[in-house]
Structure 1
């Protein structure tokens, strides 16, 4: 999931829904319906950026379905399947102090409380119980291992410094 520095990915179009141009989306927002709070989307598909306007959307069973402006039939809708849904980061609500969006944690260098460099946050995984940082090694890291570190602020994650692009963890490098 690559990021443009001014945009973040909030979901993905998965399939068509019905015959009138509706689409099913997989939302990365929490709650899932939060994706419907953003009207101006940028769809990213096959290296192309396509501006899109959300006309309406709703929960349909366990899925979210949407209708985008100018898409009124199943055939046209199917051409958007697989597209990432992006919004400008300036449209995201401000979080309370100590909380972060996933896109803010990407590329942060990860250090142990002892000062050992473990690598850089490549991406995160949602597991249900807690999110997990996937840390890839760098030239500066103590070894060339990939690490899965639970994102547990106050327990494992001791400090996040966005200005320094640094995340400090209480984590055994042997794990």
Structure 2
């Protein structure tokens, strides 16, 4: 799979914190501080405008991740960053460990059940807290399949871009 030019959403600016230009970040990396490792970032606003930034520093503070952007020195400038999405090139991420996958690498893969019935393509995945859920869509419906291996997700083949599941197509 060619990841050149492909970007991954790793977090977003949640809002200003204090008076000196610091912001709260939401980070979807694990552990969450790893987000600072993948710079430069492409910041994208709600209108799709983008800009590149690097040199962002940060730390954990209680339940928050706190960041300081270069040239952001007061609350007004920090508040202007609220809502910006943080994207990085896919190839900036380390390869996943054996048996692990980045969700973004599963999006678009074909989903078939053990009998070979095509259930559509992976639209997205999400976490419920109890387990992750794979959402497969075809032209007629959407199926939510617990991403539980090997009980429901029996095989993931990136080479053939296919995920095999133990799932009733009528469910």
Structure 1-normalised TM-score? 0.88
CA 1:130–1:54 in structure 2 vs 1: closer, same or farther (change >3 Å)?
farther
1:153 and 2:167 correspond = no
TM-superposition CA deviations, 1:68-119 (whole Å, max 9, x none): 1121122122222111111111221111222110110111111111111111
Structure 2: stretches of 5+ with no match in the other structure: none
Contact 2:4 2:90 in 1 (8 A): no
Superposed counterparts of 1:54-73, under 5 Å: 54-73=55-74
4+ runs deviating over 3 angstroms = none
* Aligned residue in 2 for 1:170: 166
Identify the range of structure 1 (129-138 vs 108-117) with the bigger mean alpha-carbon deviation: 129-138
CA 1:4–1:10 in structure 2 vs 1: closer, same or farther (change >3 Å)?
farther
Q: How many aligned residue pairs are there? A: 168
Contact 2:4 2:91 in 1 (8 A): no
Superposed counterparts of 1:52-131, under 5 Å: 52-131=53-132
Offset of residue 38 of structure 1: 2.2
Please report the RMSD computed on the Cα atoms of aligned residues, expressed in angstroms.
Answer: 1.8
Superposed counterparts of 1:2-81, under 5 Å: 6-45=6-45, 46-81=47-82
Contact 1:54 1:66 in 2 (8 A): no
TM-superposition CA deviations, 1:125-165 (whole Å, max 9, x none): 11122211122223xxxxx2211111112221111122322
Structure 2-normalised TM-score? 0.90
Measure, in 1, the Cα distance between the counterparts of 2:84 and 2:161.
29
Measure, in 1, the Cα distance between the counterparts of 2:114 and 2:150.
13
Structure 1: stretches of 5+ with no match in the other structure: 139-143
| SS class of match (1:19) | coil
TM-superposition CA deviations, 1:26-74 (whole Å, max 9, x none): 1111222221222311111121111112431011111111111121122
| SS class of match (2:115) | coil
